[in-house]
A and B are shown apart, each in its own frame.
Chain A
Amino acid sequence: MPEEKLKEVVSDLITKIRDKDHNVRAKARDNAGKVGAPAVKPLVAVITDEDFEVARAAKRALWKIVRHAGRPGADGERKAVVAELIPLLRDSQPVPVRREVMWMISEIAGDEAVAAVAAHLSDKELREDARMVLERLPGRGSLRALRRALRTVPQEFKINIAQSLRARGVRVRGFPCQKLVPTRKTDLKPVG
């Protein structure tokens, strides 16, 4: 598509995603997939819109793009979308944006995204999402990042990393699984 036309399409998408009428927003969202990579950054700018329904429409339009780009035989589109997503993991983006972008990356990216995701393992607010995304990303890069994290993350988070490594089939010494250990108490008393 010629650049001018593309700009027009993206601009039209953003205008409609910001529309006050939810029917207009929904239609734009549903058709966003084919607009692809050029719409990623403009849509991310709307994810934090103060109208929560506009923000939601933008987020879901982005997911449409991710899932359209992830279809078989569309490697070029997939790479282009991933290339737009990775820079959005920089600290300058708000936490909710980075959290959402990491999960988008988890569906369609590979080794190229590992470093950007792994950087969040030192961020208390996002490290659990980063761990889970690395667990899902296939390939040696994510596995290496998880192994490295087991040495470098704070002690209290190592058990989470161990969980991901085990899920990836790695034998981990120490850090016993906590899944059956109850922790959440109620003050209510037995009845009867």
Chain B
Amino acid sequence: MDKQNKINRRQFLGTLGAAVGAPYIISSGVLAEAGRPGANEKLTTALIGSGGRGMGLMNEIRRSEIADSIECVAACDVDENRLAGAARSLARGSRKPVTPYRDYRYVLERKDIDTVVIATPDHWHGVQTVHSAECGKHIYVEKPACCTIEEGKAMVRAANENKVTVQVGSQGRSQREAYLSHRYLVNGNIGHIDKVWCFHYNSPEDNNPVPDSDPPAELDWDMWLGPLRWRPYNRKYHHGVFRWIMESGGGQIRDRGAHVMSCTKWWMGADDTGPVTIEATGTSPRRGLWDSAVTMHVTYTFKDPDWVLIWDQETGNAPPAEERKPGEARIVRPGYGAVYHGSKDTFTHWGGDGGTWAERKAREWVPPPGAKDVRKSPGHWEDWFEGIKTGKKTIMNIEAAVGVANLCVLGNLSFILGRKLHWDQAKQEIVGDEEARRLMGRPQRHPYHL
């Protein structure tokens, strides 16, 4: 079809819109080059990584404002048992058949799929986001965005070059009490903030180590590893426990750090900035396969403006949770959050992810006339959808998410190397340490590469 005769999806729907009330699934093969659907169009999606988190995300979609605007038509997983269960479950909520795939690249080939939801272990986020962007899919990817500095750069580049909308799953930014916290802080209620102390409990240790073994029949171990260098299977790698492996999950700092420090960077107006030094100490597990830090203390120093961000991962360090009155949202995850130290006062929040709880003074603060307002998310999924439709930057866009993930990555690098690192934010690189520089990226197995 030549360009003159090409009809894009919006034009097509425009001709249908008056006659047909219900939204239709239209192949993205007829999507316009700009890739932005109209307000009433129904999009198709595929879930990549259909384990607990992936299915949780699809349930969130079903409960969200975009539920009627998106249809799941495919699921991918490297575990056949999980995949079969996911396909059955997703088909119950879809008018279209749900096709199961082991290899997500079959999804990327399909022209009728507009968006992907990526909920694989972290070591796949970079590669799958880049590939999805290169195939023109809009992307929701779980946090942390990346496992290495170089992955993050590639993700930003791929999203921008292919003009796709990316929302990263640090949902804290879309919570009501996060908005109230942000508004309270930017209006100077605690004065100039020069220290943010993030608290979190320990990562677990593997107290029942098992030897390497053959992988179970239902698991494609090679594909689970994907870009990681090959190693024998051990059942302590998966499923959810990948989190405690440095290469794949990165421990609490790359899990919850990507939530709590996401709020910090946003509220401090620091999305476009980075630390100049990073210094981590901590303890490693005494046994077992898991190798992410059990306790961990990282100090990030920012300059111009000068402030310090501390990641303090040690059980028992959390401040007591605020008592809530009847009818107020209860703080159900008091073990992590952050305390903001200002020149006039302090401010505490708990959680920072899908559950974010602000100290009472922020919740009860009534903005005086002329007070600054801040961006208020309509909801994390809704915000993503708005980004897809309008091209507006999402609240946890890929640049911001990579900036947060870089904090986590640099903290872990300082921990494993046992030394302070120096970071050049403008060049996005570690300076003065050749070994650390090499660890900004990691070579990837063929063909699972950026």
B360 at the interface (CB under 8 A from A): no
In the complex, which residue of chain A has the Cβ closest to the Cβ of B436?
A70
Expressed in whole angstroms, the minimum distance between the Cβ of A171 and any Cβ of chain B is 17
A23 touches B286 (CB 8 A): yes
In the complex, which residue of chain A has the Cβ closest to the Cβ of B108?
A180
Question: A68-B418, A138-B438 given as contacts; is B284 within 8 A of A30 (CB)?
Answer: yes
B434 touches A70 (CB 8 A): yes
Enumerate A147-182 residues with CB–CB distance to B below 8 Å. Answer: 159-160, 163-164, 167, 177-182
Compute how far the CA of A4 lies from the CA of B444 in the bound complex, rounded to whole angstroms: 43
A179 touches B438 (CB 8 A): no
Chain A hits for B438, CB < 8 A = 106-107, 136, 138
Enumerate A62-76 residues with CB–CB distance to B below 8 Å. Answer: 64, 67-68, 70-72
Compute how far the CA of A178 lies from the CA of B439 in the bound complex, rounded to whole angstroms: 25
B91 at the interface (CB under 8 A from A): yes
Chain B hits for A5, CB < 8 A = none
Interface secondary structure of A, over-half rule: helix
B223 at the interface (CB under 8 A from A): yes
A191 touches B88 (CB 8 A): yes
Interface secondary structure of B, over-half rule: loop
Question: A26-B287, A183-B103, A186-B83 given as contacts; is B449 within 8 A of A191 (CB)?
Answer: no
B447 touches A179 (CB 8 A): yes
B291 touches A60 (CB 8 A): yes
Chain A hits for B432, CB < 8 A = 72
Question: A72-B432, A72-B433, A184-B103 given as contacts; is B88 within 8 A of A25 (CB)?
Answer: no
Interface size class of B (residues with CB under 8 A): 35 or more
A22 at the interface (CB under 8 A from B): yes
Contact flags A77-104 to B (C-beta < 8 A → 1, else 0): 0000000000000000000000100010
A22 touches B287 (CB 8 A): yes
Question: A60-B291, A106-B438, A188-B87 given as contacts; is B284 within 8 A of A128 (CB)?
Answer: no
A190 at the interface (CB under 8 A from B): yes
A128 touches B445 (CB 8 A): yes
Compute how far the CA of A29 lies from the CA of B90 in the bound complex, rounded to whole angstroms: 47
A33 at the interface (CB under 8 A from B): yes
B105 touches A180 (CB 8 A): yes
Expressed in whole angstroms, the minimum distance between the Cβ of B221 and any Cβ of chain A is 11
Our pick among B229, B418, B439 for the contact of A129 (Cβ within 8 Å) is B229
B314 at the interface (CB under 8 A from A): no
Expressed in whole angstroms, the minimum distance between the Cβ of A120 and any Cβ of chain B is 13
B131 at the interface (CB under 8 A from A): yes
A192 touches B91 (CB 8 A): yes
Our pick among A60, A181, A188 for the contact of B80 (Cβ within 8 Å) is A188
Expressed in whole angstroms, the minimum distance between the Cβ of A71 and any Cβ of chain B is 6
B100 at the interface (CB under 8 A from A): yes
Chain A hits for B99, CB < 8 A = 190
Chain A hits for B211, CB < 8 A = 52
A67 touches B416 (CB 8 A): yes
B447 touches A163 (CB 8 A): yes
Expressed in whole angstroms, the minimum distance between the Cβ of A2 and any Cβ of chain B is 26
In the complex, which residue of chain B has the Cβ closest to the Cβ of A187?
B80
B87 touches A191 (CB 8 A): yes
A192 touches B103 (CB 8 A): no
Compute how far the CA of A150 lies from the CA of B211 in the bound complex, rounded to whole angstroms: 37
Our pick among B106, B209, B417 for the contact of A71 (Cβ within 8 Å) is B417
Chain B hits for A135, CB < 8 A = 443
Report which A residues bind B (CB closer than 8 A). 22-23, 25-26, 29-30, 33, 52-53, 56-57, 60, 64, 67-68, 70-72, 99, 103, 106-108, 128-129, 131-133, 135-136, 138, 159-160, 163-164, 167, 177-186, 188-192
Report which B residues bind A (CB closer than 8 A). 78, 80, 83-84, 87-88, 90-92, 94, 96-106, 108-109, 127, 131, 134-135, 209, 211-212, 220, 223, 229-230, 284-289, 291, 416-419, 432-435, 438-439, 441-449
> Which 9 A-B pairs have CB atoms at the shortest separation, nearest pair first?
A192-B91, A70-B435, A132-B443, A182-B105, A26-B286, A184-B103, A22-B287, A191-B91, A178-B447
